[in-house]
Amino acid sequence: MDANETKTVVVIGGNLGSSVARSLHDNHEFRVRVISRDPSSAKSKKLIDSGIEVVQADYRETEQLLKAFKGCWGIFINIDSDAPNFKQRIGPSELQMGKGMVDAAIKAGIQHAVHASLPAASELTKGEVPVLAFDDKSAISKYLLEPGKFETAAIVSAAWFLENAFDPKYTAAFGGFAMIKDAEGYLTWETPAMGNSPESVPWLAVADDYGDFVHGVFLDPQRWNDRHIHGVSDSSSFAEMTTKFEEVTKLRDHALTGKPARYKEVKKGGLSAADEFKTKEVNGLFDLMHAIKGNFFNGVPTEHNDARLLKKAAAEARQSDISLKPMTVEQFFQKYAM
């Protein structure tokens, strides 16, 4: 492909995919094509309204994927692990679906691939702490990275979503922060500890940063080939995170105190989510974190520099005037706290 020719990147996948699509769309070097099972959905319509191409395809149907992938230079893959069929083991697993996407991308002639992954729970714990979504995503990554499949391939693993503070699936499981006050009037983040000391949790501002990390990889795919990149915006303890939220709301509201927030540690296995599958997953997450000493990214300490380099590269390539640095926890709450 000519260096000056517009490169089409096909994007699959949820909130991470939306962030990737919006970042790449802000750079005339790329054309973005988003795959959706329902192009009439509200999320798809938002992308279409912003000028992004959205095409329909069933992720399970190879011929539909091949048609959607035609003429694409790169692919970003992220499968929604919360789909009920995966949890209930109905139909193809996430791993089977992911492999099918990889195979279709190769057959369509796509050269460069990026996958959003998670820690290999069973492998890291010798089978003691299996987490279905984590194990399937990590297995897809291994498959995608096998030699000879793509000219380049990279993994950009997503850290802990800061947006979970405003997602009912997680606020219900984690004590109510930052939406539901407890009986004492606090917005409480209530989970087990992360498992490292001093505690350090890698946080990700999905909408503001993740897409730029992937954008940065596509700007220089050879440099990032075969790399496992930590998609992290900022790090702090759970207690520091809730304190920063309270301080931000205090300044924003010009009040003597902000919205009262706190962290309460609970024992492992003590979380309860909206359904049995999510309950098993969130408790399994903390069992895994303790088993790997709180090192979220496949058992190794969080590395911030790659994300900073990628953010800067993407910010410089985008038309919009955005920050050259990943978002801090304070900046996230300044922008999104209600």
Calpha distance 47→58 (Å, rounded) = 18
Which residues are CB-neighbours of 204 under 8 A, at least 6 positions away? 158, 159, 160, 161, 162, 210, 231, 232, 233
Domain ranges in the chain? 7-336
Q: Phi/psi zone of residue 241: left (φ > 0), alpha (ψ -120 to 50 degrees), beta?
A: alpha
| Claim: this prediction has a pTM higher than 0.85 | yes
pLDDT by residue for the chain (338 residues), tens digit each? 456 689 999 999 989 999 999 999 999 999 999 999 999 999 999 999 999 999 999 999 999 999 999 999 999 999 988 776 766 677 789 999 999 999 999 999 999 999 999 999 999 999 999 999 999 999 999 999 999 999 999 999 999 999 999 999 899 899 999 999 999 999 999 999 999 999 999 999 999 999 999 999 999 999 999 999 999 999 999 999 999 999 999 988 777 667 899 999 999 999 998 888 889 999 999 999 999 999 999 999 999 999 999 999 999 999 999 999 999 999 999 999 97
318-322: long-range contacts, CB 8 A cutoff, minimum separation 24: 318/23, 318/26, 318/27, 318/212, 318/215, 319/26, 319/27, 319/28, 320/26, 322/208, 322/212
As a CATH number, domain 7-336 is 3.40.50.720
Q: Nearest-CA neighbor of 164 among 253, 246, 238?
A: 238
Q: What value, to the nearest 5°, has the Cα angle with vertex 338 and ends 173 and 166? A: 25
Which residues are CB-neighbours of 243 under 8 A, at least 6 positions away? 261
